[in-house]
Amino acid sequence: MKTYPGISASPGLVVGQVSRLEWERNTFSHTPLNPEKEQTLLEGAIRTAQAELQVMQDGSAESEQAIFMFQSMLLEDEGFMSEVRSYITAGIGAAAAMERVGQRYADQMSAMVDNPYMQLRGVDILDVTQRVINILGDRPRTRLALDHPVILATEVLMPSDFFSIPSGMVLGVITSEGSTQSHAAIIARAMKIPAVVQVGRAFLDDCDGRMVVLDADNGVCILDPDSASRQQMVTRMWERQQENAELARYQTLPNRTWDGASFELLANCFGPEDIESSIQAGAAGVGLLRSSYLMLPDRVPSEQEQYFFYTSCLSVAKGRPITVRTFDLGSDRTLSNAYQGAQSAHLGLRGIRSSLLRPREFEAQICALLRAGARGPLKVMFPMVTDIEDWDAAMKIVEHCRQSLRERGVAFDENMSFGITLAVPAACLTADEFIRHGCQFFTIGTNDLTQYTHAAGREVTSAARYYQPASRAMRKLIKMVVDAAHEGGIPVTICGLAVGDPVNIVEYLRMGLRSFSVSPQNLWEAKKALVEAYAEQNERLPVPAEAEGPAAPPMPEADGPDTPPAP
């Protein structure tokens, strides 16, 4: 008996025989091949691959569909496929060309050690390129034919491996490498297949055909367990079943207040991982995608990398709308502090002010967003817009990007909606002007609006008493924005940490807001608060009279306490 520690990627406990899954090396002819013929073969193989991916997508659970959608989209990607075609033109066979480009893209992404999201997409690229190579070589797409249930052991598992093996045949998964955030791990969790990753090479060399206890609750594998540990596992498996049976179920109620007003509940997200969990928790979409978190500490991602990111976000959102906020960076909120999640209280060149000073980078982002918009419902908003000059300058760049995409002949969303994040009081006070200049939606950012309205840094503990997201001043500003939006006939959403507070969200509801974007962990509480609230009760009294108290008092007793400052 020997214990191999790893990391749990999907909880569960199982005992079974191990089957080692091996990678087969591709071999290609070195003779130059007819480019036209190879090109035609490639087109056919791509069609077949996409049809196969569609079948897997249709047959998979919601959380997995996006993975196959992403793989299918790669086969239509302009940059990727034009690189493959240029190799073919140079006389390299379609399969070899696919492998070269796929490997290069995958290596590039795997090298992004500071960006786990990009690293994980590398495995998908290898998976889908191997599928096309197998089709071109008329080889089976499966890596293993199983006739009895086993625990699979391999270096790294591909998402499609799960689908090439009859269901019920995989009891568990053990990988020597791999990541808990990989797509294969996501699928394992969705399919409730216990999985442990990173057990190390020694396990693989040793395991084929032997018995293993896969204790994925604790992230360990016990090879050749003795009878005492086997018995212990069986007892724990039984106890676990009992616990699962007792798990509470969440009610799904329509998004309507007690007095019948409909509302929209969205999530504030960072990328595909939390978009997916937010959608599962009931979010109708993403009200704020903080694109800055796609950043690497030392460089801005290229148009192509961003395009992958946004399309991946769209595919996990499965048709639900996503509002992306363009990079919120600046001299006082640098690439690396945005990456680490550090906030800024400085009054410098942040958000759109900084983007306008770096037009090449801004254009790359806008082009990536416009292109991704052709793949799903994407809206774009600019952060830290202060006056109409900011808006006009940003939209001039948007128009320039549209024109350049037309010239490049690339598909993009001609009708994408553009809006602003209202975080600067000056913009709230002149909200109607933006509508007159073509702004199509507003999103109120309570985190920054609070700090700029109250001149209190959101992370400055000593000024916490001044950081009041639902103060009278805030409510006046919010009301102005809501009124301007209603008059101008454009949608308005409110986002930020304060919105996740049940007391504040009801306050905002009564001010006429019907669209809320909250942190994923607050979705259920926010929904409960809204479902139990009256929307109309205080609608005509959203802003208490000025005489009611000092400049920044706590909220009136009946409304409950103010939201604590953002962490």
Quick one: which of 334, 312, 407, 327 has its CA closest to 360?
A: 327
Task: Supply the minimum distance, in Å, between the C-beta of residue 288 and ligand PEP.
Answer: 6
- Decide if residue 446 touches ligand PEP (CB under 6 A): yes
Number of residues that bind Mg ion (CB under 5 A): 3
Task: Supply the minimum distance, in Å, between the C-beta of residue 426 and Mg ion.
Answer: 15
Three-state DSSP class for residue 178: coil
Task: Supply the minimum distance, in Å, between the C-beta of residue 343 and ligand PEP.
Answer: 6
Give whole-number Cα distances, 195 to 1, 8, 159, in Å.
20, 6, 13
Handedness of CA 423, 426, 429, 430 (dihedral sign): negative
Give the distance between the most distant pair of CA atoms in the chain. 87
Instruction: Enumerate the β-bridge partners of residue 18.
Output: 151
The span of 300-308, 316-324, 400-408, 444-452 binding ligand PEP (CB under 6 A) equals: 444-452
Number of other residues whose CB lies within 10 A of the CB of residue 197: 26
In the bound state, the residue with its beta carbon closest to Mg ion is 448
Phi, psi of 308 (to 5 degrees): -60, -45
For ligand PEP, the closer of residues 347 and 541 by Cβ is: 347
The span of 22-30, 174-182, 440-448, 551-559 binding ligand PEP (CB under 6 A) equals: 440-448
The span of 192-200, 429-437, 446-454, 475-483 binding ligand PEP (CB under 6 A) equals: 446-454
Task: Supply the minimum distance, in Å, between the C-beta of residue 47 and Mg ion.
Answer: 44
Task: Supply the minimum distance, in Å, between the C-beta of residue 449 and Mg ion.
Answer: 8
Q: Which residues of 2-13 are buried (b: 16+ CB within 10 A; e: fewer)?
A: eebebbbbbbbb
Number of residues that bind ligand PEP (CB under 6 A): 10
For ligand PEP, the closer of residues 270 and 308 by Cβ is: 270
Pairwise CA distance, residues 271 & 419, whole Å: 20
- Decide if residue 495 touches ligand PEP (CB under 6 A): yes
| Interacting residue with ligand PEP among 128, 153, 174, 423 (CB under 6 A) | 423
| Interacting residue with ligand PEP among 306, 447, 504, 522 (CB under 6 A) | 447
Instruction: Enumerate the β-bridge partners of residue 492.
Output: 442
Task: Supply the minimum distance, in Å, between the C-beta of residue 357 and Mg ion.
Answer: 19
For Mg ion, the closer of residues 42 and 385 by Cβ is: 385
For ligand PEP, the closer of residues 12 and 383 by Cβ is: 383
Quick one: which of 197, 238, 231, 273 has its CA closest to 11?
A: 197
Residue type, 118: M
What separation, in Å, do the N-terminal and C-terminal C-alpha atoms of the chain show? 48
Measured at the CA of 193, the angle between CA 188 and CA 195, to 5 degrees, comes to: 75
Measured at the CA of 271, the angle between CA 459 and CA 460, to 5 degrees, comes to: 0
For Mg ion, the closer of residues 330 and 445 by Cβ is: 445
CB 344 within 8 A of CB 336: no
- Decide if residue 496 touches ligand PEP (CB under 6 A): yes
- Decide if residue 288 touches ligand PEP (CB under 6 A): yes
Task: Supply the minimum distance, in Å, between the C-beta of residue 453 and Mg ion.
Answer: 13
Task: Supply the minimum distance, in Å, between the C-beta of residue 385 and ligand PEP.
Answer: 12
Pairwise CA distance, residues 516 & 552, whole Å: 24
| Interacting residue with ligand PEP among 121, 143, 183, 290 (CB under 6 A) | 290
Pairwise CA distance, residues 213 & 17, whole Å: 9
For ligand PEP, the closer of residues 28 and 452 by Cβ is: 452
Quick one: which of 183, 185, 208, 192 has its CA closest to 128?
A: 183
For ligand PEP, the closer of residues 165 and 498 by Cβ is: 498
Q: Restricting to residues 426-445, name those near Mg ion by CB under 5 A.
A: 445
Residue 454 contact partner, candidates Mg ion, ligand PEP, none, CB within 5 to 8 A by sort of partner:
none
502-510 vs 523-531: helix crossing angle, rounded to 10: 50
| Interacting residue with ligand PEP among 124, 303, 390, 448 (CB under 6 A) | 448
> Between β-strands 378-382 and 7-10, what pairing exists: parallel, antiparallel or unpaired?
unpaired
Residue 563 contact partner, candidates ligand PEP, Mg ion, none, CB within 5 to 8 A by sort of partner:
none
For ligand PEP, the closer of residues 374 and 463 by Cβ is: 463
Using alpha carbons only, how large is the chain's radius of gyration in Å?
26
Residues in the chain: 567
Task: Supply the minimum distance, in Å, between the C-beta of residue 44 and ligand PEP.
Answer: 46
Task: Supply the minimum distance, in Å, between the C-beta of residue 495 and ligand PEP.
Answer: 5
Quick one: which of 420, 418, 417 has its CA closest to 430?
A: 420
Residue 315 contact partner, candidates ligand PEP, Mg ion, none, CB within 5 to 8 A by sort of partner:
none
For Mg ion, the closer of residues 89 and 336 by Cβ is: 336
Task: Supply the minimum distance, in Å, between the C-beta of residue 448 and ligand PEP.
Answer: 3
- Decide if residue 445 touches ligand PEP (CB under 6 A): yes
Residue 446 contact partner, candidates ligand PEP, Mg ion, none, CB within 5 to 8 A by sort of partner:
ligand PEP
Residue 496 contact partner, candidates ligand PEP, Mg ion, none, CB within 5 to 8 A by sort of partner:
ligand PEP
Q: Restricting to residues 325-344, name those near ligand PEP by CB under 6 A.
A: none
Measured at the CA of 466, the angle between CA 463 and CA 471, to 5 degrees, comes to: 160
26's CB contacts (< 8 A; 6+ apart) are 95, 99, 130, 133, 137
Q: What is the DSSP letter of 147?
A: S
232's CB contacts (< 8 A; 6+ apart) are none
For ligand PEP, the closer of residues 73 and 526 by Cβ is: 526
| Interacting residue with Mg ion among 77, 124, 361, 448 (CB under 5 A) | 448
Pairwise CA distance, residues 299 & 100, whole Å: 25
> Between β-strands 13-20 and 211-215, what pairing exists: parallel, antiparallel or unpaired?
antiparallel
- Which residues of this chain interact with ligand PEP, rule CB under 6 A? 268, 288, 290, 423, 445-448, 495-496
Binding-site ranges for Mg ion (CB under 5 A): 445, 447-448
